[in-house]
């Protein structure tokens, strides 16, 4: 992006948000973070997703709004209470921010979603035009994306994010310590498809969506080459020059992770067709190259 813009972001302190803020500032943009607490600096805007409050006056004149906030899907066991929290944090927050966007009318509204939209897809490739699945996260994504539509006639991009790879956090951040000790291995059968993207390329893709006016609606934020879990764990072991001899049986994962185990053991072979058609290129399109780079950090 060449022209400096004023961009408002929710979820700015998360793995993706903090990387995005740093990138946008390095590109010369003015970034304002939406915060739930009282505002203490000029680069903050008050909001409260639970009550639906957004300081619309402070949002006036922004060029773009990027909404990334929501509780972590894999942070806790999926009790009935936490499942409600997963849904409500997305539904209430997105409803509030989309309503504010409809009033201030920026050039673009980018709202988080996830490849959980597709549910279990087995060995079948899915693209943005495929229907939603029928499990819990698919239902969450349906409501999440419907709430984003409350932005009205503002160009809205719903980013269906896959497994985000970065050495400092997310799934890879949790797996690295075990693999570095030589204690890693495939998860479950290893035959399930994982649709991944490096944090580096995800930030580049967000930047691409900001400026490319042809992009709207759902967009799969994944790499162009999904891999099976067996291929993923083998590539990670190779990148670290360690064996991958300790598979985690499906039953053990179900006991340890509860409902979230369905996301680890489930199969989603997601193709980022809209990004491909728009001419986006990945710096790390292949898993071995991505994990080699991340293992060096």
- Residue 81 is part of a domain; what is its CATH number? 3.40.50.720
Q: Which residues contact 48 (CB under 8 A, 6 or more apart)?
A: 36, 96
Q: Which residues contact 52 (CB under 8 A, 6 or more apart)?
A: 92, 95, 96, 99
Q: How far apart are CA 57 and CA 39, in angstroms?
A: 14
Interhelix angle 15-26/199-211, nearest 10 degrees: 60
Q: So what's the pLDDT on residue 81?
A: 93
Handedness of CA 83, 14, 59, 63 (dihedral sign): negative
Overall average pLDDT of the 151-177 stretch: 92
Residue 242 belongs to some domain of the structure: no
Give pLDDT tens digits for 76-87.
888 899 999 999
Give pLDDT tens digits for 67-122.
999 888 877 888 899 999 999 999 999 999 999 999 999 999 999 999 999 999 99
Residue-range definition of the domain harbouring residue 28: 6-170+195-223+269-284
Q: So what's the pLDDT on residue 1?
A: 46
More confident residue, 217 or 72: 217
Residue 96 belongs to some domain of the structure: yes
Q: Report the residue count for the chain.
A: 297
Give pLDDT tens digits for 10-19.
999 999 999 9
Q: Is the pTM of this model over 0.85?
A: yes
Residue 239 belongs to some domain of the structure: no
More confident residue, 282 or 4: 282
E strands of the chain, at which residues? 6-10, 30-35, 44-48, 53-54, 64-67, 108-114, 125-126, 155-161, 163-165, 193-194, 196-198, 217-221, 227-228, 269-270
Residue 275 belongs to some domain of the structure: yes
Residue 260 belongs to some domain of the structure: no
Mean pLDDT of the chain: 93
Q: How far apart are CA 64 and CA 60, in angstroms?
A: 11
What is the separation of C-alpha 151 from the centre of its chain, rounded to a whole number of angstroms?
20
Q: How far apart are CA 69 and CA 114, in angstroms?
A: 12
The structural domain count of the chain equals 1
More confident residue, 260 or 133: 133
Instruction: Give percent of the chain with pLDDT exceeding 90.
Output: 80
């Amino acid at each position: 992006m060449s022209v400096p813009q004023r961009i408002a972001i929710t979820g700015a302190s998360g793995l993706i948000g903090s990387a995005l803020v740093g990138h946008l500032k390095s590109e010369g943009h003015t970034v304002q973070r939406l915060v739930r607490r009282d505002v203490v600096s000029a680069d903050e805007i008050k909001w409260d997703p639970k009550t639906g409050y957004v300081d619309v006056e402070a949002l006036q004149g922004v060029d773009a709004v990027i909404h990334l906030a929501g509780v972590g899907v894999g942070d806790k066991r999926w009790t009935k209470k936490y499942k409600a929290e997963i849904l409500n944090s997305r539904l209430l927050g997105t409803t509030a921010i989309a309503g504010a966007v409809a009033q201030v009318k920026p050039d673009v509204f980018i709202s988080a979603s996830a490849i959980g939209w597709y549910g279990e897809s087995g060995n079948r490739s899915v693209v943005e035009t495929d229907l939603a699945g029928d499990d819990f996260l698919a239902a969450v994504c349906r409501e999440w994306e419907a709430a984003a539509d409350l932005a009205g006639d503002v160009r809205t991009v719903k980013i269906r994010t896959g497994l985000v790879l970065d050495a400092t956090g997310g799934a890879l951040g949790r797996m690295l310590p075990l693999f570095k000790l030589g204690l890693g291995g495939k998860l479950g059968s290893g035959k399930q498809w994982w649709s991944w993207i490096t944090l580096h390329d995800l930030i580049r893709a967000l930047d691409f969506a900001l400026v490319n006016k042809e992009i709207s609606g759902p967009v799969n934020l994944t790499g162009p080459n999904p891999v099976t879990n067996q291929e993923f764990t083998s590539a990670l072991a190779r990148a670290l020059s360690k064996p991958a001899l300790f598979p985690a049986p499906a039953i053990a994962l179900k006991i340890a992770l509860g409902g979230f185990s369905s996301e680890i053991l489930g199969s989603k072979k997601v193709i980022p067709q809209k990004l491909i058609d728009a001419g986006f290129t990945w710096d790390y399109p292949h898993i071995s190259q991505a994990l080699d780079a991340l293992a060096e950090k």
